[in-house]
Amino acid sequence: VWRFDSCHRLNSVIARRTKGFPMAVKKVALLTAGGFAPCLSTAISGLIQRYTEVAPEVEIIAYKHGYEGLLKGDFIEVTDTVRKNAEILKRFGGSPIGNSRVKLTNAADLVKRGLVAEGDDPLKVAADRLVSDGVDVLHTIGGDDTNTTAADLAAYLAEHDYGLTVVGLPKTIDNDVIPIRQSLGAWTAAEQGSRFAQNIVGEHNSGSRMLIVHEVMGRNCGWLTAATAAKYREWLDTQEWVPEIGLSKEAWDVHAVYVPEAHLDLEAEAERLNKVMDEIGNVTIFLSEGAGLDAIIEEMEKAGQEVPRDPFGHVKLDKVNPGAWFGKQFAEKLGAEKVMVQKSGYFSRSAASNEADLELIGRCTDLAVDCALAGRAGVIGQDEENGDELTNIAFDRIKGGKPFDVTQPWFTDMLSEIGQA
């Protein structure tokens, strides 16, 4: 995504700035970017509260709609009233300052969207805007795309001696950022996906030979799908059942969990699930939206269809619709008389943070502010390559696409319990 020499220069500049006394921080800017996750509003709250606690003299602004607002110079001032009421933000999901998907190195897309002029270097436009707005520290809150974009910007700032510090926070419900153990908001998303399923799976008796496909977000990583299924099955274990009238745990259970990291033998699974359908009368599948994506893309390209992609080059999964594709494949093979495909993504990702995430986000935002005031750049997270230490991880170590480890006992035990090889 960016060059090693830029990384080296960035780290050299950071090292020079942190020798002795760091530069005084007078103004900081916040932005949230990418898709929503159940941590954004909480993280904004945490940053505001921490600055108010340890450095109340520091001005705070928030760019509206992520990097789009940065390029346009569109921001909100964090007033004394906002500081006083920052705790309220933790009660809500989404992001009060707004998000967008903007890649600062994709000049053609930014020109098309009217965010930069033809011939402009978007990184320079962003850097100059930060200087014009008097910003000393930029806090980015987002996933791997947001933080690799932050890395591009941080490298540019360092290479051209702008003297700004960028400190990122890892947001993604996929929990797939290398080398971060737990991304902010992922625990909440799994819990909310379970709540979604508790109602959706209740539809299993709305028709005979019912097939339910619960599509969970996760383009390249199956962690969220697996964790959602595990949380849902934890809920099942707390319930009482009356099988004599048809209220059985077997019918409400998950019968298959498909993630991108595990091979899916469609024919073998169809044979297994046919037996479940014959015995119980319904089948419920938890499907990661990225599972089997290659097969879907191949089918589209063979048919001469254009595969829609976003500015980062990712396939637009809402256009490809993996859940519907799998629903069609299995419906034919299982002889399903009714098929229901439901997606929990937007329900899950826009939720307010749960207790576990509130605690983790609080520790991360506190450290993010401390690092910013000390002039230490990086992405705040539990560094699983260094004993899960919570620290500021150098931008050049941040990557997306961390695979879910399908050999973990909690996952393999769950598959064994539902009869899936």
DSSP code string of 86-100: GGGGGG--S-TT---
Bridge partners, residue 213, by sequence? 285, 341
As to burial, measured by CB atoms within 10 angstroms (0-12 exposed, 13-18 middle, 19+ buried), residue 306 is exposed
Q: How confident is the model at residue 145 (pLDDT cuts 50, 70, 90)?
A: confident
Residues 243-270: tens digit of each pLDDT:
999 999 999 999 999 999 998 888 999 9
The structure tokens listed for 274 are: 């046919």
C-alpha 82/C-alpha 97 separation (Å) is 12
- H helices of 73-143, in order, are 80-84, 107-112, 122-132
Closest-CA residue to 172 (of 154, 185, 190)? 185
Which of the residues 136, 145, 174, 396 is marked catalytic?
174
As to burial, measured by CB atoms within 10 angstroms (0-12 exposed, 13-18 middle, 19+ buried), residue 199 is exposed
Q: 0.75 cut: is pTM over it?
A: yes
Average pLDDT on 163-185 reads: 94
**Residue pointed to by tokens 């993010």:** 368
Q: How confident is the model at residue 17 (pLDDT cuts 50, 70, 90)?
A: very low
Per-residue pLDDT, 21: 38
Per-residue pLDDT, 41: 98
Give CA separation, 106 vs 1, 4, 64, 74, in Å.
Answer: 12, 20, 20, 20
Average pLDDT on 338-365 reads: 97
**Lowest mean pLDDT segment, chosen from 216-220, 311-315, 355-359:** 311-315
Instruction: Using the predicted structure, report yes or no on whether residue 384 has a pLDDT greater than 60.
Output: yes
Per-residue pLDDT, 402: 92
Instruction: Using the predicted structure, report yes or no on whether residue 27 has a pLDDT greater than 50.
Output: yes
Name the DSSP class of 357: H
Closest-CA residue to 380 (of 399, 396, 361)? 361
C-alpha 104/C-alpha 98 separation (Å) is 17
**Residue pointed to by tokens 């990557």:** 399
Per-residue pLDDT, 9: 39
Helix (H, G, I), strand (E, B) or coil at 149: helix
C-alpha 255/C-alpha 418 separation (Å) is 6
Per-residue pLDDT, 294: 76
8 A C-beta contact, residue 371 and residue 212:
no
DSSP secondary structure string for all residues of 158-225: HHTT---EEEEEEB-TT---BTBSS-BTHHHHHHHHHHHHHHHGGGGGSSSSEEEEEEE--SS--HHH
As to burial, measured by CB atoms within 10 angstroms (0-12 exposed, 13-18 middle, 19+ buried), residue 190 is buried
Percent pLDDT > 70 in the chain is 94
Rounded to 5 degrees, φ, ψ at 168 are -105, 160
Instruction: Using the predicted structure, report yes or no on whether residue 15 has a pLDDT greater than 60.
Output: no
How far, in whole angstroms, is CA 381 from its chain's centroid? 14
Per-residue pLDDT, 155: 86
Instruction: Using the predicted structure, report yes or no on whether residue 147 has a pLDDT greater than 70.
Output: yes
CB atoms within 10 A of CB 4: 8
Count Cα neighbours of 234 within 13 Å in the Cβ-side half-sphere. Answer: 13
Closest-CA residue to 214 (of 206, 203, 353, 205)? 203
Residues 272-321: tens digit of each pLDDT:
999 999 999 999 999 999 887 777 787 777 778 887 887 767 777 777 78
Rg of the chain in Å (alpha carbons): 23
C-alpha 334/C-alpha 114 separation (Å) is 50
As to burial, measured by CB atoms within 10 angstroms (0-12 exposed, 13-18 middle, 19+ buried), residue 281 is middle
The structure tokens listed for 217 are: 């977000």
What size, in residues, is the chain?
A: 421
Per-residue pLDDT, 22: 53
Kind and range of the H or E element at 320? helix 317-320
Give CA separation, 122 vs 66, 108, 126, 131, 386, in Å.
Answer: 14, 10, 6, 14, 34
Q: Tell me the average pLDDT of the chain.
A: 90
Per-residue pLDDT, 8: 39
Helices 186-200 and 223-237: crossing angle in degrees, nearest 10, is 60
Tell me, yes or no, if 405 is annotated catalytic. no
Bridge partners, residue 137, by sequence? 28, 165
